[in-house]
Amino acid sequence: MRQAGAAKGAPPASLPIVLSGGRAWDGAREADVMASWLVARGVSREALILERDSLTTRQNARKVAAMLAGRDWRTVGLVTSDFHMRRAARLFRREGFQVIPLPAPSRLGFLSEQRMILRELGAAVLERIADGPLPRRSGQPRRPGLVRRALSRFESR
């Protein structure tokens, strides 16, 4: 459970915890559920900053970066499932964060674990297609990815 990882890796009371997730499960958004769980275990509600709109890991990273832009916070302790950490950390680094990984161990059966690994690989491939090839030299701008190029052609009609 990710919240348990957040509670164990929680910063001192003087530091905030950003909870990101807008997907609703049974009418409750992820960020709200995580906040309630942490508060019930003694984390101060005032220490929590909620981002309640993102629906993907990429949106998590972008929206958190936008929320924290004026605060000059560039180092984050990132809590997510162990199988999800690599891709999530890469997306947060892409937004300019220095990431301290705090993976929450998953207790999945073999088949569920394999399904989640395949899901992560698929998501990584789709992100690479959307982003296009990596630049050849440092500082060289990226070309729009295949999906973005196709969408821009469609939208320009």
Please give the structure tokens belonging to residue 104. 């929450």
User: Which CATH number characterizes residue 81's domain?
Assistant: 3.40.50.620
- Are 79 and 128 in a shared domain? no
Question: CA 69, 47, 102, 118: dihedral to nearest 10 degrees?
Answer: -70
- Are 60 and 27 in a shared domain? yes
Cβ atoms 90, 60 nearer than 8 A: no
Whether the predicted model's global pTM rises above the 0.85 cut: no
- Are 84 and 124 in a shared domain? no
Measure the CA angle with vertex 99, ends 75 and 90; round to 5°: 135
- Are 72 and 11 in a shared domain? yes
Last residue of a domain, one of 63, 87, 105: 105
- Are 60 and 33 in a shared domain? yes
- Are 135 and 85 in a shared domain? no
Question: CA 63, 66, 71, 73: dihedral to nearest 10 degrees?
Answer: 60
- For the stretch 117-139, pLDDT in tens is 787 777 777 777 777 655 555 55
- Are 73 and 135 in a shared domain? no
- Are 101 and 141 in a shared domain? no
- Are 101 and 118 in a shared domain? no
- Are 44 and 96 in a shared domain? yes
HEC profile for 37-55? HHHHCCCCHHHEEEECCCC
Please give the structure tokens belonging to residue 149. 């190029």
Q: How many structural domains compose the chain?
A: 2
Domain that holds residue 67: 1-105
Cβ atoms 31, 54 nearer than 8 A: no
- Are 41 and 8 in a shared domain? yes
- For the stretch 15-62, pLDDT in tens is 788 999 988 989 999 999 999 999 999 998 998 999 999 998 889 999
Please report how the helices 146-155 and 110-131 are oriented relative to each other, as an axis angle in degrees rounded to 10: 60
- Are 64 and 37 in a shared domain? yes
Comparing 142 with 15, the larger pLDDT belongs to 15
pLDDT value, residue 13:
56
